[in-house]
Amino acid sequence: MAAEHGRKWDRCLADTAVKTVTGISVGIVFSVLFFKRRTWPVSFGSGLGLGMGYSNCQHDFRSPYLIHGRVVKEQSSR
């Protein structure tokens, strides 16, 4: 399990890094293209990317504790 833990962390960090960078780049693109070189899309994009990465990381760590429910249709025999 220690290995699993370590692997999770690796994935998580890598994923977050990728997403942040992607976000930054998308932000840059948008800032350049649509928003007249303002900074806010960049920060927005980075935030977006960080957030997604954080969320994914959290989800990954939570995954053992998540309960998946199913809607069960009412049976005819009550």
Contacting positions for other proteins (CB under 8 A): 1-2, 5, 54, 57-58, 61-62, 64-65
State which residue, 28 or 50, has the beta carbon closest to other proteins.
Answer: 50
Cβ atoms of residues 27 and 54 within 8 Å: no
The minimum distance between CB 36 and other proteins, in angstroms, equals 27
State which residue, 30 or 54, has the beta carbon closest to other proteins.
Answer: 54
In the DSSP assignment, the letter for residue 71 is P
State which residue, 2 or 71, has the beta carbon closest to other proteins.
Answer: 2
The minimum distance between CB 63 and other proteins, in angstroms, equals 10
